[in-house]
Amino acid sequence: MEGVFNNKKFILVFVFMLGLCIGITTVHGQGTRVGFYSRTCPRAESIVRSTVRSHVNSDPTLAAKILRMHFHDCFVQGCDGSILVSGPATEKTAFANLGLRGYEIIDDAKTQLEAACPGVVSCADILALAARDSVVLFLNINWQVPTGRRDGRVSQASDVSNLPAPSDSVDVQKQKFAAKGLNTQDLVTLVGGHTIGTTQCQFFSNRLFNFNGTAAADPAIDPSFVSNLQALCPQNTGAAANRVALDTGSQFKFDSSYFSNLRNRRGILQSDQALWSDPSTKSFVQRYLGLRGFLGLTFNVEFGKSMVKMSNIGVKTGTDGEIRKICSAFN
C-alpha cells in the first residue's frame, strides 16, 4: 500500500508541476517562451546584447530611445516589429514616432543574425531583447525575455493614435494600458522608464507660460523649478526641439529618482506629474519610494516583470506573420 501511495503522490506532484509549467507558458503569452532560439540560433541573445552594448557605449542616449521604441511598437498592432518598417504612411512616419531613434541598432543586430542564422530570428524579438539589454546596461539586475514572436505584415500611421500622450490624465492612461492587459501598477512601473532619456520642449512647454489660458505656469510644478524649465525652453524662440531630461539630475541612471521628482513636483510631462496627484497611482509611487506606511516595492525588479507583460501584447507566433529578411521592409 505504501508503494501505491507513493506512486499516487508522485503522479499528483507531477500533474501539479505540469500545470505550473503550462501556466508559465500561458503567462508568457501565445507561444513565446524563454530560450526559444536555444537550438535554432544559440547565439541570438548574445549577438543582440553585444550589439546594443557597442552602440550604447558610443551614445548612451540610445538606451532610452530603444526602450521607447519597444513601447511604441507594442502599443500599436502588438509587439510585432511594425514600428521598424520604412515607407509612406507607416507607423514610423506618425507624429508621435518622429522622435524615435536607434533603428540602426536593430538593423545592425539583424544583419549579424542573418549571417549566423538566416531566416530564424524575428525583428520583433530583436527589438524586445534590445529593449531589455539597453536597460540592463544601467542596472545590476537582469530578467529573462520570452521569445518566439513573428513580424507583422501591417504598419500604418493611422493606427498610432492610441499611444499614451504627454497630456493624458491618469484616467485616460489607465484606460489605454488596461486595453492592452496592463494594470495600474504596470502603468506606474513602465512610465517609470522615464528615469532615463529626454523629451522635447514642445511636449510640455504648455505648462510653463500660459497653462490652460491662465497666463501662468502649471501650479503642479514646483515654483522654484519653473524658472529652470523656462530657461531650457524659452518662449517664442524656436526652442520646441530643445531636449530636457525626463528625470532631472539622473538622466543616465536607471533608478527611483524619477519618482522622487514626482513627489517634489518636478515631473516634466503633465501625464507624469499626474501620477503623484491621483490616489490610485500615487500609492505605487510611494511604494517605490519606500515611504512610511506603504509596502515597499523594488522598482528595478517590478520593471522587469511589467516589461515581460508588455512584451507579449498581441504577439504573433506559430504561422502568423513572417520572419523579415530586413527589419525595415516586409518580405
Active centre residues (catalytic): 72
Rounded-to-integer distance, Cα 235 and Cα 149, Å: 45
What angle is formed at CA 89 by the lines to CA 88 and CA 91, rounded to 5 degrees?
Answer: 115
Q: Which of 112, 114, 77 is nearest to 92 (CA)?
A: 77
CA dihedral sign of residues 326, 311, 179, 169: negative
CA dihedral sign of residues 215, 216, 219, 225: positive
For 90-96, the CB contacts below 8 A with 24+ separation are 90/155, 90/156, 90/157, 91/155, 91/156, 91/157, 91/159, 91/160, 92/155, 92/157, 93/157, 94/157, 94/158, 94/160, 95/160, 96/72, 96/160, 96/163, 96/165
Please provide the distance, in angstroms rounded to a whole number, between the alpha carbons at the two ends of the chain.
63
Residue keyed to cell 486595453: 179
Rounded-to-integer distance, Cα 200 and Cα 67, Å: 17
Rounded-to-integer distance, Cα 296 and Cα 248, Å: 23
Q: Which of 224, 229, 207 is nearest to 216 (CA)?
A: 207
Contact of 31 with 318, CB cutoff 8 Å:
yes
Residues in Cβ contact with 114 at an 8 Å cutoff, skipping those fewer than 6 apart: 325
Rounded-to-integer distance, Cα 88 and Cα 310, Å: 27
